[in-house]
Amino acid sequence: MTDPILSVSDLRVTFAINQGKKWPWSPANALHAVNGVGFDLHRGKTLGIVGESGCGKSTLIRAIAGLVTPSGGTVQLDGRTMDYSRRADMQELRRRMQMIFQDPIASLNPRMTIRDIVAEPLTYFRPDMSGAERKRATREMLDRVGIPERNFNRFPHEFSGGQCQRIGIARALVSTPQVLLCDEPVSALDVSIQAQVINLLKELQDEMGLTLVFVAHDLGVVRHISDDVLVMYMGGVMERAPAGAVVDTPRHPYSQALLSAVPVPDPRVKTTPQVLNGDLPSPLNLPQGCLFQSRCPKRIDACRSIRPELKGPENAKVACLLEET
């Protein structure tokens, strides 16, 4: 097997929070957003990341992209460890890795025409190209995502959400990156448009040999686009398995609860959502043991003291003490 294109290990992100400080000079509190996440991702594959709001999934890919500074761990891109404080490394990283965002309209500068928006990455990543070449590359990319040329001089607010997301995809891919990070790209779109965008992403992935990291809270979408799925809770990975396996036979108690709650668009199927009681732990003060212990229906005493590691065969890993025994 070839080496992974993207390899993340023990990534941590903490934010300094000034709220609740007694004095201006007392030390800031640390909010633990991502707590030791690791995964390998092979070329041309898609990794889905699911979890509820506040589980750190967006922070995780923003940290990989360098938009927030990781406080620990390493990210290897094509076998090279990236140093997030080095400008040259960051340029290299962004040449190979681009991102699309959740709010399609807010992710485009309202004062720029879409031609300028899509052409902008080329001025940074392809200084070797001539003006005419850039123009042609821009036109081809916009054409590929289905924006007709007569609209190139328009402004983002003149497009619908679905079209804006297509423009965002064109901007991310015009500089031909290898990895595309997707931060909930379809959650703001209507169902019929959402399917268009997902299909477009899949087609482009095949054409360009892209590797995708796809963050979403909709399990149906993630199941559809991903090869593997990472289930996150409170900034930690609970389970990593092929998409089909996570949906059909979830092994972690949290994955099970999450799956049972997904509504099925079929009135004949009666779902029985598993109710999670208990409070979420505070990200300012994480529990010593398992992150999920406060709400876990299958909790045992050991869960309070031991933080389980992600264990198991490659691509079917679970972080649960019950699985270890």
Interface stretch with another protein, choices 74-82, 133-141, 254-262, 314-322 (CB under 8 A) = 254-262
Radius of gyration for the alpha carbons in the chain, expressed in angstroms and rounded: 21
- Binds another protein (CB under 8 A): choice among 193, 212, 291, 319: 193
Structure-block tokens of residue 250: 């979830």
Total residue length of the chain: 325
Q: How far is the CB of 28 from another protein (least distance, A)?
A: 10
Token match 């190979």: residue?
A: 96
- The DSSP line for 305-320 is T-----BSSTT-EE--
- Binds another protein (CB under 8 A): choice among 111, 127, 301, 314: 111
- Binds another protein (CB under 8 A): choice among 2, 265, 313, 314: 265
Distance CA 259, CA 178 (A): 31
Structure-block tokens of residue 160: 């619908």
Q: Is 267 in the site for another protein (CB under 8 A)?
A: yes
- Binds another protein (CB under 8 A): choice among 60, 99, 119, 234: 99
Q: Is 116 in the site for another protein (CB under 8 A)?
A: no
Is residue 211 a contact partner of residue 43, using CB atoms and an 8 Å limit?
Answer: yes
Burial 60-75 (b: 16+ CB within 10 A, else e): bbbbbbbebebbebeb
Is residue 34 a contact partner of residue 13, using CB atoms and an 8 Å limit?
Answer: yes
Q: How far is the CB of 45 from another protein (least distance, A)?
A: 15
Q: How far is the CB of 194 from another protein (least distance, A)?
A: 7
Considering the complex, state which of residue 38 and residue 161 has its C-beta at the smaller distance from another protein: 161
Is residue 65 a contact partner of residue 215, using CB atoms and an 8 Å limit?
Answer: no
**89: exposed, middle or buried (C-beta count within 10 Å: 0-12, 13-18, 19+)?**
middle
Q: How far is the CB of 199 from another protein (least distance, A)?
A: 5
- Binds another protein (CB under 8 A): choice among 107, 165, 178, 211: 107
Window 4 to 63, contacts with another protein (CB under 8 A): 52-53, 62
Q: How far is the CB of 325 from another protein (least distance, A)?
A: 26
Q: Is 230 in the site for another protein (CB under 8 A)?
A: no
Window 145 to 174, contacts with another protein (CB under 8 A): 150-151, 153-155, 158, 160-163, 168, 171-172
Q: What does the angle CA 284 – CA 288 – CA 289 come to, to the nearest 5 degrees?
A: 125
Q: How far is the CB of 2 from another protein (least distance, A)?
A: 25
Q: How far is the CB of 104 from another protein (least distance, A)?
A: 9
- In 174-306, which residue ranges form alpha helices assigned H by DSSP? 191-208, 219-225, 243-248, 253-261
Number of residues that bind another protein (CB under 8 A): 77
Distance CA 220, CA 241 (A): 15
Q: Is 79 in the site for another protein (CB under 8 A)?
A: no
Contact track, another protein, 131-150, x by CB under 8 A: -------------------x
Which of 3, 63, 52, 2 is CA-nearest to residue 213? 63
